[in-house]
Structure 1
Amino acid sequence: MNFDKLQAFAASSPLLTSIFVVVTVALLFTEVARLFRGYKALRPAELTALINRDNALVVDLSASADFEKGHIAGSRNVTSSQFDPENKLLAPARNLPVVLVCRAGNASADAAKRLKKAGFTQVYWLEGGIAAWQQADLPLVKGR
């Protein structure tokens, strides 16, 4: 395909060309925003490495009942409704790696944003949450 054919297609299909431009701009915006948000998404294998290498604090934002059904070994439970960057568990970890986890990954991403705004320096969240952890065949601990 050469440039002349591309121009001819764009001229004959303005709707498709517009959709392509909008999708491209949206993807670029999303990727640039991800670079500057200040916290990083982790996959389960990356979280395991961070726990083993840097002794990261893992904070599970699940409801207490869900936490007891299964959580990542060593994680601490702070429900979303009680989440506060000044929490006695979180405040001392301001300069340590803190990883936020929830069931699906949505609440933990929002909480990561709050921690970063509060001045925490090493903030992470488990992309896909506990569901992604289970899909990676990694173990969960039951009980408190």
Structure 2
Amino acid sequence: MARRYSELVEACRERVGELFPWELQEELDAGRPILLLDVREPYEFEAMHIAGSLNVPRGILEPACEWGYEETVPELVEARERPVVVVCRSGNRSLLAAAVMRELGYRDVRSLRSGLKGWNDFELPLVDGRGEHVPLAAADAYFTPRIAPEQLGPRPAR
């Protein structure tokens, strides 16, 4: 039976632990050795991300987690026993990615609930690709949804 994207995300939510932005900030402040894995596309990461995050786009995640591929990311492969928190824009791609990583043997992988949008809503710091602070107003504008009418799908007949 085919599922909708939202149903697939919700199914992952049942199998993957999540934490809210303030919980992640508390763990980072406490010095927990967390690998922050940002699974957004490189252009999204370049615009803004949490300082210290590793960018591995969702599209190459599986081979990036294994030795022997052009996409292999050694730091990620070696993190199977390390706490990993996966982040994306809103917390959906990160749930899918974390579920896959659990299947690949990552023992302590969670998803950032509400994603970077929620991180920004809590006014937690973001940096750009040069490592410079992103002003809150700029991040607010960036995270404002921009859905075109054709992306909403056909309207039901009346």
Same fold (TM over 0.5): yes
Identify the match of residue 73 of structure 1 among 43, 47, 51.
51
SS of the equivalent of 1:93 reads: coil
Q: Percent identity?
A: 38
**How far, CA to CA, are the matches of 1:50 and 1:76 in structure 2?**
17
**How far, CA to CA, are the matches of 1:116 and 1:52 in structure 2?**
25
How far 1:50 sits from its partner (Å)? 2.3
> What is the total number of aligned residue pairs between the two structures?
111
Find runs of 4+ consecutive structure 1 residues off by over 3 angstroms. Answer: none
More helix by share: 1
**TM-score, length-scaled by structure 2:** 0.65
| Alignment match, 1:106 | 92
- Between 84-93 and 99-108, the greater mean CA deviation after superposition: 84-93
How far 1:119 sits from its partner (Å)? 1.2
| Alignment match, 1:130 | 116
Q: Any stretches of 5+ residues in structure 1 without a counterpart?
A: 1-29
Residues 104-144 of structure 1: per-residue CA shift (max 9 Å, x gap): 11110001001111111101110111100000110101115
Q: CA RMSD in A?
A: 1.9
**How far, CA to CA, are the matches of 1:51 and 1:96 in structure 2?**
14
**TM-score, length-scaled by structure 1:** 0.71
- Between 62-71 and 86-95, the greater mean CA deviation after superposition: 86-95
Q: Any stretches of 5+ residues in structure 2 without a counterpart?
A: 1-9, 67-71, 131-158
Q: Which has the larger radius of gyration?
A: 1
Report matched runs for 1:1-144 at 5 Å: 34=14, 37=15, 39-53=16-30, 54-84=32-62, 85-86=65-66, 87=72, 88-143=74-129
**How far, CA to CA, are the matches of 1:42 and 1:115 in structure 2?**
17
How far 1:69 sits from its partner (Å)? 0.8
